[in-house]
Structure 1
Amino acid sequence: MDRPDAAFRTGGTMTATAPATAWLRGLGSRGGTAGRRLFVFPHAGAGASAYRLAAYLPDSVEVCTVRLPGREGRFAEPALTSLDEAVATLAPLVAGHTDLPYAFFGHSMGALLSFETARRLRALGTPLPERLFLSGMRAPGLPDREPRHALPDAELLATAEFAGVDPELQELLLPILRADLTLCETYLSRAEAPLPCPLTVLAGSDDESVTEAELAGWREHTSAGFETHLFPGAPHLYVRGAEPQLAETITRAFPVQG
């Protein structure tokens, strides 16, 4: 799973008057000039600031990053442990901002969140994403190799995610990472018709958490186009540091014009 993000240091609470802006950071960031919108769903242990894709995408693409409870400006709220609960709140908020052609990008936990959000949008009768970019995660229905959300604190702290993290920060991040692991590892995929959205499945070629066969399993979840793209020599968290290449890949498959 993914390394905790130091962005959790920032405190704050969600305001009841603006739930969409609490969940979707970046709404209106292009000043009304955007012609397309990209919703970004972060990995476990990450806040909305984990990726800096907006800096490498054209000004005509508005990037809205999902900010879950328990991190950054929502640090005072309890973290969610149910993917269904997250999607039930998130999907209607996204549905209110589908006035532009849009796509989803989700890495690891974010891939599951984006996929199930698209399914929920279909149930709501909302216009669907033009494409889903699903990164670093095995296809739904395939089992986790080594579930860890129920490990004792000492064993979870001994995993690679916490290597080099300050002990005080470890104590702060541990319950957030455990909540995110619970959300992922208790997720049960339901049988539904394939989405009519094309899928681009991404991963680092050196990502030991997922195999090419597990990535290929996403093919059965679309009735439209399907493609895979591996970033050479890249580990699981290739997304940090590879934003220029990732933005280029997204732009090719989700063109600004046409």
Structure 2
Amino acid sequence: MTEPLRLLCFPYAGGNAQTYVRWRRHLAPDIEVCPMQLLLADVRTRLADLTTPKDRPIALFGHSLGALLAFECARILVVEHGVQPARLLVSGHRAPHLPLREEAIHHLPDTEFLAKLGERSRTLRALTDPEFRKLLLPMLRADFTASETYAFAEGPLLTCPITALGGERDEDAPLGEVAAWQRHTTGRFEVTAFPGDHFFIDDAWEAVVTTIGERLRSRAETTPC
């Protein structure tokens, strides 16, 4: 019987971690899906709660900005809690040591920021209510500030397997840059590609969840991916 496992799930910038709740119906009952919001201070407290007691392994998944946060939380687990994750699954983001490719927008005035964000985000384009956009603005700006001011710092390599997921037509995170995540573990590594652009995480979510479920079921195996 497979040991129960917690899967910490981090959303993309402007996304809602509660979208991962639907994953519970598609993953094995021994996998506890834990949606995580993009606030590092709160995440540190939650990580402490989730690792006390150390009663089950932890895996982490994140898409886009969430991939960076999942990676940093994996490093926190190792350095601060002595917990090596069962697996790190990173999606839709280039490896963290690579430089920022796009022009930063987090510092722009509100109108310009929303216009630029609308060019990148189908989620924002779908929000036509100006009051709702105004309500979301602080959260969106905070997410993009975190992403665009992220500074990678060298640290001990992870030893857990890393699975990197990418969209075949994702211009924000081309598969070659996704493959560069291999640098960050001494363990097994693989890249899994999905049809679609940066939002394959939404368009092909069932295929993504199936892939994640397969990788987590094989967590006790010692053969290479």
1:98 to 1:209, Cα distance in 2 relative to 1, 3 A: farther
Residue 45 in structure 1 maps to residue 7 in structure 2: no
SS at match of 2:187: coil
Alpha-carbon displacement from aligned partner over 1:171-201 (angstroms, at most 9, x marks no partner): 1111110000011111111111210111000
1:164 to 1:253, Cα distance in 2 relative to 1, 3 A: closer
* Counterparts of residues 208-227 of structure 1 (less than 5 Å): 208-227=171-190
Larger helix proportion, structure 1 or 2? 2
2:66, 2:60 → 1: CA distance? Answer: 10
SS at match of 2:190: strand
The answer for unaligned runs of 5 or more in structure 2 is 221-225
How far did residue 45 of structure 1 move?
0.8
Residue 57 in structure 1 maps to residue 27 in structure 2: yes
Which amino acid is 1:175 matched to?
P
User: Deviation above 3 Å: which 4+ runs of structure 1?
Assistant: 85-91
How far did residue 87 of structure 1 move?
5.2
* Counterparts of residues 40-189 of structure 1 (less than 5 Å): 40-51=9-20, 52-68=22-38, 80=39, 83=40, 85=41, 88-96=44-52, 98-144=54-100, 145-159=102-116, 160=118, 161=121, 162-165=124-127, 166-189=129-152
SS at match of 2:19: coil
Which amino acid is 1:237 matched to?
F
The answer for unaligned runs of 5 or more in structure 1 is 1-33, 69-79
Superposition RMSD on alpha carbons, in Å? 2.0
CA contact (8 A) 1:36 1:256 kept: no
1:62 to 1:87, Cα distance in 2 relative to 1, 3 A: closer
Q: TM-score normalized by structure 2?
A: 0.85
1:55 to 1:97, Cα distance in 2 relative to 1, 3 A: farther
1:60, 1:88 → 2: CA distance? Answer: 24
Which amino acid is 1:102 matched to?
I
Residue matched to 1:236: 198
Residue matched to 2:223: none
Residue matched to 2:211: 249
Q: TM-score normalized by structure 1?
A: 0.75
1:60, 1:224 → 2: CA distance? Answer: 24
1:184 to 1:93, Cα distance in 2 relative to 1, 3 A: farther
1:200 to 1:45, Cα distance in 2 relative to 1, 3 A: same
Residue matched to 1:77: none
Residue 206 in structure 1 maps to residue 163 in structure 2: no
1:45 to 1:153, Cα distance in 2 relative to 1, 3 A: same
CA contact (8 A) 1:136 1:204 kept: yes
> Identity of counterpart residues, as a percentage?
42
How far did residue 90 of structure 1 move?
4.2
2:166, 2:24 → 1: CA distance? Answer: 20
Alpha-carbon displacement from aligned partner over 1:218-245 (angstroms, at most 9, x marks no partner): 111000001001102x121222242321
CA contact (8 A) 2:167 2:175 kept: no
